[in-house]
Amino acid sequence: MDPQLRDEHRQLLEKNQKQLLTYGTSGFREESKYLKFVGWRVGIFIGQMSKNTTLKLGVMITASHNKIIDNGFKIVPPKGGMLSIEEEQNIEIFYKSEEIVQSETQYDTGIVYVGRDTRPSSESLCQIVLDGIKEAGAIGINLGIVTTPQCAFLVYATNLGLVNQIESNQQFFVEYFCNIFLQLIKNPIKGTLVIDGAEGVGGIWIKYFQEKLANVLTIQRINYGDEPHLLNDGCGSEFVQKEKKLPKNFVYDPTYRYASLDGDADRLVYYYFEQNKLQIIEGDRFAILFAMYIKQQLQKKPDLKLSIGIIQTAYANSASTKYITENLGIYAKYAPTGVKYLHRVAHEFDIGIYFEANGHGAVIYKDHVLSQLKEFELFELELFLKLSNQAVGDAIINILMTEFLLNKLEITIQDWLLIYQDYPALSTKLYVKNKQIIKTNYEETTLIEPIDLKQKVDEIMSKYDKSYRTCIRPSGTENVVRIHSEGPQVEIVKEIDFRINEMLKSYMEI
Ligand code: 16G
Ligand code: MG
């Protein structure tokens, strides 16, 4: 093995106090200077994996909304989506071993597509992953700078035979979705949509959609990637949603709608600015908008029985869950934080709609659904579902779906916010050294360990009625414990948050 790679690996081990990286909620992610060895191992692993299937696989190099100095690897299976739990464990075991394992493979070679975001470290990491793939005797194809959902979609589309020769045809992504959108839109959509591209890859690709859709949708781009060193800096969905601030280069017009993507374009929030107040549309409301339409369409054909489910996390505002179950009559289920968990649960339904409050989300459906919709002559719904990126949640495609629906249902962005009223909620974080001692139930709604900590939380919450809740969970991406509290009165929510934080400060290692 290259001694430099081995050295960097040792530094990584030291940095993480001998604990190895885990294939976490969004793949391997670290400061980019420690990632060369990991990239090489990922390349070998996926190269070998590709030699056991006739289908293509993918790797995306990105650290999404994280700092520009970070980077990461997400593996794309043949149908998009996520690795199975077993595959995740296998890659962790494989990455830990320093030697090349030439396991038995079924075929002489395989094909892996490698995409990357605009980070300065992405190009060299891409080369390292390609080297690893070659080392395993497979063929790596460099897709260049693409969004995470675009990379996943290109893998998915080639495997389904929707497109050949993807290597010279990244534009297929734009053409495929624009064609469906143009079939759905009968008249030009009113108003202007301003899209903040987080100075990342999404901002770059939005340009092609802007051009192709110019006759039906007016898009104005800001933070579109001409200052790549400012990636996610004062812009993008993480900044807008977490800081509750307007992105840089914001252009005010009361008639405009605004959307922000994250650094790899798989997260989306909408917002508007009125009476000096920023009003943000988070993930829950996308799920509700999409579900309202799907339900309305299916109600036209009572004989067509398709199960619909909405998957949320413990961070979803309870008012949204109440609206889903009581007003829409749709089944709502919780999954742990992280797209991979929501995606898996969404597959339990014929049509599964999943969204995290932070704007990751998608509508996914089972193979038989489209032909059934055709049979029942629900052609518009069929097109709408075809418009959803089945490979993985996609901010750009979710914008198209949203624009179609706001226009079709004649809902303004202001009306969208009025569909139901959120309960006051507060999310805070506390930096700790021992977040791993905290264990929650599967849905992450209740703390279960340590027992004495649970008792302290229960004691605090016993002072309030049942309409108040608080969830405490260890972050998967930072050394923090996240606290999310919610209930009918904002002052009481603040009080709960304060008391939980104070209690945790004395209980945890700070
Ligand atoms: C990652 C996840 C995101 C999740 C977040 C939680 C993906 C692609 N990304 O960014 O879904 O909301 O982690 O972070 O799955 P936390 O564990 O620090 O709260
Ligand atoms: Mg992302």
pLDDT of residue 164: 73
For ligand 1, the distance from its centroid to the CA atom of residue 475, given in whole angstroms, is: 8
Let me know if 376 is exposed, middle or buried by CB neighbors in 10 A (0-12, 13-18, 19+).
middle
Compute the average pLDDT of residues 283-296: 97
pLDDT beyond 80 at 17: no
Ligand minimally distant from the alpha carbon of residue 265:
2
Ligand 1, atom 8: closest residue by C-alpha? 26
> Are 124 and 45 found together in one domain?
yes
The domain in which residue 233 lies consists of 175-280
Q: 3-class SS at 221?
A: strand
Which tens digits make up the pLDDT trace of 209-244? Answer: 999 999 999 999 999 999 999 999 999 999 999 999
Shared-domain flag, residues 265 and 293? no
In a domain, 456, yes or no: yes
> Is 479 close to ligand 1, i.e. is its CB under 6 Å away?
no
Do 152 and 66 belong together in one domain? yes
- 235 and 263 fall within a common domain: yes
Do 187 and 118 belong to one domain?
no
Does residue 65 line the site of ligand 1, with CB under 6 A?
no
pLDDT tens by residue, 27-45: 899 899 888 888 988 999 9
The first and second tokens of residue 255, run together, are 């008639």
Contacts of range 321-329, beta carbons closer than 8 Å, 24 or more positions apart: 322/420, 323/288, 323/419, 323/420, 324/287, 324/288, 324/291, 327/420, 328/288, 328/291, 328/292, 328/295, 329/295
Tell which atom from ligand 1 comes closest to the C-alpha of 315: 12
Tell whether ligand 1 has an atom less than 6 A from the beta carbon of residue 435.
no
Distance 291 CA to ligand 2 centre (A): 23
Distance in Å, CA 74 to ligand 1 centroid: 13
Residue 19 pLDDT > 70, yes or no? Answer: no
Q: What strands, in cross-sheet order, belong to the sheet with 361-365?
A: 331-334, 308-312, 351-355, 361-365
CA of 266 to the centre of ligand 2 (A): 5
Residue minimizing CA distance to atom 12 of ligand 1: 338
- Closest atom of ligand 1 to 148 CA is 8
Find out whether the beta carbon of 356 lies less than 6 Å from any atom of ligand 1.
Answer: yes
CA–CA gap between residue 268 and residue 399 (Å, rounded): 8
The single residue of 50, 64, 121, 237 carrying the catalytic annotation is 64
Residue 63 bridge partners (DSSP): none
- Verify that 138 and 287 share a domain, yes or no: no
pLDDT of residue 447 exceeding 70 = yes
358 Cβ below 6 A of ligand 1: yes
Atom of ligand 1 at shortest distance to CA of 474?
Answer: 17
Q: Is 64 a catalytic residue?
A: yes
Q: Residue 224 domain-assigned?
A: yes
Nearest to 265 by CA among 293, 231, 242, 296: 231
| Residue 405 belongs to a domain | no
- Cβ of 477 closer than 6 Å to ligand 1, yes or no, is yes
Among 79-88, 374-383, 443-452, the least confident range: 79-88
What pLDDT is attached to residue 163?
A: 81
Residue nearest to atom 10 of ligand 1 (CA): 26
Burial of 495 (0-12, 13-18, 19+ CB in 10 A): middle
Could you say which of 167, 194, 211 is where a domain stops? 167
Looking at every residue in the chain, the average pLDDT score rounds to 93
Give the model confidence (pLDDT) of 338-356 as tens digits. 998 999 899 999 999 999 9
Q: Is residue 313 part of a domain?
A: yes
Cα 148 vs. chain centroid, distance in angstroms? 9
Q: Where are the alpha helices (DSSP H) in 62-194?
A: 85-96, 122-135, 148-159, 172-184
101 has a pLDDT exceeding 70: no
Determine the 3-state secondary structure of 105 from DSSP.
coil
The verdict on residue 417 lying in a domain is no
Per-residue pLDDT, averaged over 282-297, amounts to 97
Hey, whose CA ends up nearest to atom 3 of ligand 1?
338
User: Are 259 and 326 part of one and the same domain?
Assistant: no
- In terms of domains, do 208 and 224 share one? yes
Residue range 116-126: average pLDDT? 97
Measured between alpha carbons, how far is residue 5 from residues 44, 72, 98, 236 in Å?
Answer: 14, 16, 10, 33
Query: Looking at the predicted structure, is the pLDDT value of residue 1 above 70?
Result: no
DSSP-derived secondary structure letter, 272? E
Report the CATH number at residue 433. 3.30.310.50
Ligand closest in space to the Cα of 264: 2
The token pair that represents 192 in the structure block: 């202007």
Q: Is 232 contained in some domain?
A: yes
Confidence class for position 477, pLDDT limits 50, 70, 90: confident
Is residue 420 one of the residues assigned to a domain?
no
Q: Averaged over 365-375, what is the pLDDT? A: 97
One domain, residues 149 and 179: no
In angstroms, what is the span from residue 316 Cα to ligand 1's centroid? 14
Give the closest ligand to the alpha carbon of residue 360.
1
DSSP of 371-390:
HHHHHTT-HHHHHHHHHS-S
Look at the chain and report how many structural domains it folds into.
4
Residues 274 and 310 in one domain: no
**75: helix, coil or strand?**
strand
Could you tell which of 266, 337, 472 is best to mutate to test the pocket of ligand 1, judged by most ligand atoms within 8 Å of the CB?
337
In this model, does residue 167 exceed pLDDT 70? no
Domain boundary (252, 280, 308) is at: 280
- Predicted confidence at residue 85, as pLDDT, reads 87
Query: Is residue 454 within 8 Å of residue 440, measured between CB atoms?
Result: no
Model confidence band, residue 478 (pLDDT cutoffs 50, 70, 90): confident
pTM score: 0.94
Ligand 2 centroid – CA 267 distance (Å): 6
475 lines ligand 1 (CB under 6 A): yes
Q: Which numbered atom of ligand 1 lies nearest the CA of 358?
A: 12
**Of the candidates 141, 167, 193, which is a domain's last residue?**
167
Tell me, yes or no, whether 265 and 299 share the same domain: no
One DSSP character per residue, 274-304 reads ETTEEEEE-HHHHHHHHHHHHHHHHTT-TT-
Residue positions counted in the chain = 510
How many whole angstroms separate alpha carbon 496 and alpha carbon 482?
A: 14
- The pLDDT, as a whole number, for residue 93 is 85
pLDDT band at 316 (very low <50, low <70, confident <90, very high): very high
Judging by beta carbons within 10 Å of its beta carbon (0-12, 13-18, 19+), is residue 442 exposed, middle or buried?
exposed
Count of CB atoms within 10 A of residue 465's CB?
Answer: 9
Same domain, yes or no, for 73 and 216?
A: no
With a 6 Å cutoff on the Cβ, whether 499 touches ligand 1 is no
Residue 418 lies in a domain: no
CB 155 within 8 A of CB 75: no
Sequence-ordered strand ranges (E) for 356-446:
361-365, 425-431, 439-440
Pick from 26, 70, 74 the residue to mutate for probing ligand 1's pocket: most ligand atoms within 8 Å of its CB.
26
- pLDDT score, position 171: 87
In this structure, are residues 442 and 314 in contact, taking their beta carbons and an 8 Å threshold? no
Beta-bridge partners for 355: 361
Q: What is the CATH number of the domain that holds 237?
A: 3.40.120.10
CA 360–ligand 1 middle distance (angstroms): 9
